[in-house]
Amino acid sequence: MPALRLFGRKWLAASDDLVFPGLFEIGLRTIWLVLLVCVHTTYYEDTWKCSKGGDYVRTYIIGRFLDVGYHYRNQFVVLIFFQGMMTLLSAVILVLVVLVNQSAKGSITNVEARKMVPPILLLKLFLILPEIVLNVFGTMWAFCRDLVICPYEGHFSRTVIEALVVFNWVLFGLAIFGLVMVFDPLGSKRYHDVQETPSAGESLRHRKSTSIWKRRFRWAFCWVRSDEHGHEAFQQVAALLSALFRSTDLVPSDVLAGCVLLRIKQKRETREMRRIYMLSDDEPKYSTDLNKVFSIAPRWMNLENARHFLRLSMAAYGWPFVMYLHCSTGLFRIANNVTCCSCFGYNPQYTLVLDDNCCFCHLAGVKHISKINEEDILFASFRNHVFELPFCIIADHKTSNIVVAIRGSISLRDIFTDLTATSDKFEGDGIPPDTMAHKGMIAGAVYIAKKLKEVAILEKAQATYPDYGLVLTGHSLGAGVACLLGFKIRPKYPDLKVYAFGTPAGLLSREAARLSESFVFTVGVGDDFVMRLGVDSIENLRTGIIQTLHASRLPKYRILLNGLGYTLFGVPPRDLEATWKDATLPEPTRSPLLSSRMIPTVAASTEAALLSRDLSVRRFSKTRLYIAGRILHVVMKKKVKTERKSKNSNPGYEMRWATAEDFMELKVMPRMLLDHLPDNVYKVLDTILREQKDNASEII
């Protein structure tokens, strides 16, 4: 990095990306060279006894002058071929060794140390031509039985050549696939140079980049184009990705290396903050005492209810979640609840089900996970399009509530709903004026509110169960939509409650988020990355990656190897300081990862900020969005040595009431994905309640 320049264009690869691919190819080609030497030793002398095709074999194995003559229109043409596979393999291995050595030089941003990589890579690509010619010879020998007739041809020799021929053709195919993958459609263009002003050129470049992302989505996700809102989602996500990565000169491996470096940087900062907290005694206080934590919360905010409604949230995922929880026995668990007679016109007796398959597999998954009788599932819609989420309505007799459980992200359509993350106006009765919210989740909440009005199921449920309350619940995307839906229907149901789990950070503007604390209970566990995921935090992550890449003194291959070690054994203390060139990270505008032409002043308008080449001012979102509700943050308790040695069952988790501002930074942590999974959140809540029960019984 910066991106590799070759054939007069920029590619989505860097000059320091060739270490591991080069080592892999060296290993493979060395194995084949050894096998070919064995073939030469055992078979080469016998080729002189071949009645036909001996020259082809000798030419392929070791190389020699081969004269092939024929008479064409009284002209004699001589083709001289002087390269053999053993010679060529040796040459390729030598070039690869030099290429790997040069690619491993210097830090990530020190391109000058790797200035020889492009010409060496060109030489490597040039050697593909004689490889193709020789592979044609090998194919003729291996698969054209009448071309080579030798009395002493061994089975080992033919097997090796056949495998080598196939391997080479596969390698050529992978090379073409690799070129397609690293091809940058904008690599040969300099759109900022074709206009009189940099801002006009950058505007054109932004439009071109957005158009390319849209075209990729249309081809890669062609089944989404038929959705009513598919085109709008493509447009929004394409604009977001263009704004994030335009003019950064980052390649995919840079992002991966940057995440490893950010993990080191954040661990170092955490250590420093811990020292400050020890001196100032100002560290956020977590507690294992549930009575103390919930003494300042309404009675309906408790972990028993949270665990119960989280189970119903998981039930909304349907049969795929059953298969995820029970990979080997999932089919048998669902089989007890499927209704394959529906293929012949049978429908469930009590439940109105929309867009399930003929065997009602989704409904079977809901029944299995929720442990709810079919007659208590009042309505279920499994329609899954862009901005249209599946949800279930359940009569929960255990808590005397009508529960609307909204499914989280599980399909590519859901991901496009997630990524339509620009802020948009969110209006309605009781919502603060000028409130902004996540656009995709607004559309999801509007869709469910419309569907509830169409089927009038809540009114029917209230008539059947007049004393029951109303609860909305969901996980991840479902949690965000549940919070916004709560705002939408709260004027009609003022006593409704929302239980949200792993709610996305970029959901609501601050005043509305503060208002939601009265009816939304949000539960987050550990390092859940979705609770820190928003457009603003992603833009900060991008800038942080560029800063850390510039500050690192290690080559990329070392960073990636270290990252594998950190995953297995953690980050050693010595790496917290030894990774950087100096103690101060540079400003992003000084990074060589950005193009040389920079706008010197901070953008004054939203459009100017979006088009700015200065990452410190380029912003896609119009306003900062926050998590909704009152947030209970649960973390694993760090035990001291005496607690670890003690056989007593000490609490394993502690918690506190957090604020939305605590989740504005997207951190790179080992458990950032695992802590978001709903089954893990359920296990944590269940463990806390079980430990509390055990401790209470010990006291008695």
pLDDT of residue 619: 67
Q: Are the CB atoms for 103 and 24 separated by under 8 Å?
A: no
Q: Which helix (H) or strand (E) holds 353?
A: strand 352-354
3-state secondary structure 585-619: CCCHHHCCCCCCCCCCCCCCCHHHHHHCCCCCCCC
pLDDT of residue 240: 82
pLDDT in tens, 378-431: 999 999 999 999 999 999 999 999 999 999 999 989 999 999 988 899 998 989
Rounded to whole angstroms, the Cα distance separating 59 from 80 reads: 11
**346 pLDDT more than 60:** no
Is 467 within a domain? yes
pLDDT of residue 150: 66
The parent domain of residue 453 ranges over: 299-522+529-534
Q: Which residues pair with 75 in a beta bridge?
A: 72
Task: Convert 624-633 to b/e letters by CB count within 10 Å (16 or more is b).
Answer: bbbbbbbbbb
Angle ∠(473,476,481) on CA atoms, nearest 5 = 55
Contacts of 129 (CB under 8 A, 6+ apart): none
One-letter amino acid for residue 679 of the chain: D
User: Is residue 231 domain-shared with residue 365, that is, in the same domain?
Assistant: no
pLDDT of residue 5: 84
Q: Which residue has the tokens 């529906």?
A: 342
pLDDT of residue 352: 85
Q: How many domains does the chain contain in total?
A: 4
pLDDT of residue 608: 63
Half-sphere exposure of 13 (CA within 13 A, CB side): 17
User: Is residue 358 domain-shared with residue 258, that is, in the same domain?
Assistant: no
Mean pLDDT computed over every residue of the chain: 81
Contacts of 56 (CB under 8 A, 6+ apart): 137, 140, 141, 147, 148
Instruction: Provide mean pLDDT across the span 298-318.
Output: 95
Q: Which CATH number characterizes residue 396's domain?
A: 3.40.50.1820
**Which of the four pLDDT bands, split at 50, 70 and 90, describes residue 348?**
low
**472 pLDDT more than 60:** yes
Closest to 426 (Cα-Cα) out of 520, 535, 513, 538: 513
**357 pLDDT more than 60:** yes
pLDDT of residue 82: 33
**Which of the four pLDDT bands, split at 50, 70 and 90, describes residue 339?**
confident
How far from 279 is each of 273, 589, 607, CA to CA, in Å? Answer: 10, 35, 45
Is 477 within a domain? yes
User: Is residue 370 domain-shared with residue 498, that is, in the same domain?
Assistant: yes
**304 pLDDT more than 90:** yes
**461 pLDDT more than 90:** yes
pLDDT of residue 194: 44
User: Is residue 422 domain-shared with residue 475, that is, in the same domain?
Assistant: yes
pTM (two decimals): 0.82
The top-scoring range by mean pLDDT among 508-522, 534-548, 598-612 is: 508-522
Region of poorest pLDDT, from 16-30, 476-490, 538-552, 635-649: 635-649
Rounded to whole angstroms, the Cα distance separating 215 from 33 reads: 43
Rounded to whole angstroms, the Cα distance separating 274 from 278 reads: 6
Q: What DSSP letter does each residue of 1-15 carry, written as one string? A: --EEEETTEEEEEET
Residue predicted with more confidence, 329 or 158: 329
User: Is residue 228 domain-shared with residue 346, that is, in the same domain?
Assistant: no
User: Is residue 86 domain-shared with residue 110, that is, in the same domain?
Assistant: yes
pLDDT of residue 143: 73
**612 pLDDT more than 80:** no
* Last residue within a domain, chosen from 158, 181, 204: 181
How far from 47 is each of 87, 88, 153, 186, CA to CA, in Å? Answer: 18, 20, 8, 53
pLDDT of residue 355: 87
Instruction: Provide mean pLDDT across the span 159-177.
Output: 84
User: Is residue 515 domain-shared with residue 553, that is, in the same domain?
Assistant: no
User: Is residue 312 domain-shared with residue 248, that is, in the same domain?
Assistant: no
**148 pLDDT more than 50:** yes
Both tokens assigned to 638? 């760090």
Percentage of residues of the chain with pLDDT beyond 70: 78
Residue predicted with more confidence, 685 or 340: 685
Instruction: Provide mean pLDDT across the span 503-521.
Output: 94
pLDDT of residue 475: 97
Q: Are the CB atoms for 137 and 29 separated by under 8 Å?
A: no
pLDDT of residue 195: 44
Q: Which residue has the tokens 């298969």?
A: 323
3-state secondary structure 522-546: EEEECCCCHHHCCHHHHHHHHHHHH
Is 18 within a domain? yes
User: Is residue 38 domain-shared with residue 156, that is, in the same domain?
Assistant: yes
User: Is residue 549 domain-shared with residue 416, that is, in the same domain?
Assistant: no
**255 pLDDT more than 50:** yes
pLDDT in tens, 36-90: 787 777 666 666 666 666 666 666 665 544 444 433 333 333 233 334 677 788 8
Is 107 within a domain? yes
Percentage of residues of the chain with pLDDT beyond 90: 39
Instruction: Provide mean pLDDT across the span 18-30.
Output: 92
Residue predicted with more confidence, 103 or 605: 103
Closest to 692 (Cα-Cα) out of 634, 609, 624, 626: 634
Is 624 within a domain? no
Instruction: Provide mean pLDDT across the span 540-557.
Output: 88
* Last residue within a domain, chosen from 488, 513, 534: 534
Region of poorest pLDDT, from 105-114, 212-221, 522-531: 212-221
Contacts of 471 (CB under 8 A, 6+ apart): 309, 396, 399, 401, 402, 403, 404, 496, 497, 498, 499
Region of poorest pLDDT, from 222-236, 540-554, 572-586: 572-586
Residue 654 three-state SS: strand
Q: Are the CB atoms for 158 and 142 separated by under 8 Å?
A: yes
pLDDT of residue 603: 38
Region of poorest pLDDT, from 356-370, 549-563, 615-629, 682-696: 615-629
Residue predicted with more confidence, 167 or 675: 675
Rounded to whole angstroms, the Cα distance separating 559 from 260 reads: 7
pLDDT of residue 319: 93
User: Is residue 28 domain-shared with residue 105, that is, in the same domain?
Assistant: yes
Contacts of 324 (CB under 8 A, 6+ apart): 330, 679
Is 252 within a domain? yes
How far from 291 is each of 522, 633, 694, CA to CA, in Å? Answer: 18, 15, 15
Rounded to whole angstroms, the Cα distance separating 700 from 695 reads: 9
**137 pLDDT more than 90:** no
Rounded to whole angstroms, the Cα distance separating 337 from 359 reads: 9
Is 402 within a domain? yes
User: Is residue 607 domain-shared with residue 640, that is, in the same domain?
Assistant: no
Rounded to whole angstroms, the Cα distance separating 227 from 570 reads: 45
Is 294 within a domain? no
**145 pLDDT more than 80:** no
Rounded to whole angstroms, the Cα distance separating 440 from 422 reads: 8
Residue 304 burial by Cβ neighbours in a 10 Å radius (0-12, 13-18, 19+)? exposed
**Which of the four pLDDT bands, split at 50, 70 and 90, describes residue 277?**
low
* Last residue within a domain, chosen from 564, 579, 611: 611
